[in-house]
């Protein structure tokens, strides 16, 4: 049966923990610069309608480290939905390659690709979710914690796609989370309803800093929102992660950011580059978790819940 990752809800808790354990095993192997020919003769296509550093490099690297190959398609290459319908793109690619990795604007595009594709689809970001980022983030926390359910995660900023996937992950993994947004920037109501017993919403970032072990932020102005920049900068005043706000934090707090960061807006240089920051670990772990995910969706590793941590 074809498996996709469109939403974090495509995985259950046991599967996510299995992926974490398998990622830990494979990470040790690939740290030695080894290549496993598990994908020999297989090709993944990257359909990217948004610019990218981490997502493109980590997926292409993962495919090549596994012995496979990649094809990158920019917006100008296929003009999906304009020059050619999404249905036709999905059905044609299904005849040629083994995996589609899509980074787009509309969640409906991601879902339509899934509907018409005979091969696995990975949502590498759309405006509603960013499941690969959330998997890497929770893996980064899991590497550090003997019991991930004991920690409290805080998110300060826009209730955007990253926030959505983190909230879904909190619900699935059993983690308590506090989300602080300005008024009118709250997460989607459907995400709130799904995660309501694990996620608390507030409009006060101080509540997050006082209570949470891991403090996460993201840009205030995402791709496609550039015309709202001045308004958003005004509305998010008081939500910057800086040394003054963090005076209220626990001594051993950790700072998280999905990157790219708008330094001096949602977070200061001092905090982003501090010893408490684990943002580069998050970025590195995009590669490691996505490598495992590719193998899982291609049915090259089988789910086993008994792998030791």
Catalytic-role residue among 218, 240, 288, 290: 218
Catalytic-role residue among 258, 282, 288, 290: 258
Catalytic-role residue among 4, 126, 127, 133: 133
Catalytic-role residue among 54, 127, 130, 212: 130
Catalytic-role residue among 54, 164, 257, 286: 286
Annotated catalytic residue 103: yes
Annotated catalytic residue 235: no
Catalytic-role residue among 4, 65, 98, 103: 103
Picking from 177, 213, 214, the residue whose alpha carbon sits closest to that of residue 194 is 177
Beta strands per DSSP E along 74-115 = 99-103
Annotated catalytic residue 258: yes
Annotated catalytic residue 132: no
Annotated catalytic residue 232: no
What DSSP string describes 118-157? SS-EEE---SS--HHHHHHHHHHHHHH-S-GGG-EEEEES
Annotated catalytic residue 290: no
Which residues, at least 6 apart from 162, have a Cβ–Cβ distance to it below 8 Å? 130, 133, 134, 218, 258
**End-to-end C-alpha distance for the chain, whole angstroms:** 28
DSSP conformational letter for 53: S
Q: How far apart are CA 94 and CA 44, in angstroms?
A: 11
Residues with catalytic function: 103, 130, 133, 218, 258, 286
């Amino acid at each position: 049966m074809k498996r996709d990752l469109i939403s974090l809800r495509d995985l259950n808790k046991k599967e996510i923990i299995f992926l974490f354990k398998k990622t830990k095993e494979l990470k040790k192997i690939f740290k030695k610069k080894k290549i496993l020919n598990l994908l020999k003769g297989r090709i993944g296509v990257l359909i990217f309608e948004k610019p990218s550093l981490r997502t493109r490099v980590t997926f292409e690297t993962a495919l090549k480290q596994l012995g496979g190959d990649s094809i990158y398609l920019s917006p100008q290459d296929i003009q999906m939905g304009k020059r050619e319908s999404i249905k036709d793109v999905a059905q044609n690619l299904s005849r040629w390659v083994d995996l589609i990795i899509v980074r787009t604007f509309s969640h409906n595009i991601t879902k339509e690709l899934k509907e018409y594709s005979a091969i696995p689809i990975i949502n590498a970001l759309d405006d509603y979710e960013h499941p690969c980022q959330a998997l890497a983030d929770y893996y980064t926390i899991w590497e550090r914690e003997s019991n991930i359910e004991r920690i409290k995660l805080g998110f300060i900023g826009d209730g955007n796609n990253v926030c959505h996937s983190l909230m879904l992950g909190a619900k699935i993994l059993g983690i308590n989370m506090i989300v602080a947004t300005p008024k009118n920037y709250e997460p989607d109501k459907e995400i709130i309803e799904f995660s309501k017993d694990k996620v608390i919403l507030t409009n006060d970032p101080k509540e997050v800093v006082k209570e949470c072990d891991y403090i996460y932020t993201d840009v205030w102005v995402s791709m496609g929102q550039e015309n709202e920049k001045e308004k958003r900068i005004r509305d998010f005043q008081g939500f910057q992660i800086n040394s003054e706000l963090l005076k209220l934090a626990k001594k051993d707090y950790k700072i998280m950011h999905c990157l790219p960061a708008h330094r001096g807006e949602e977070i200061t240089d001092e905090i982003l580059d501090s010893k408490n920051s684990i943002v580069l670990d998050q970025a590195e772990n995009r590669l490691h978790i996505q490598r495992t995910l590719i193998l899982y969706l291609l049915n090259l590793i089988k789910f086993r819940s008994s792998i030791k941590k």
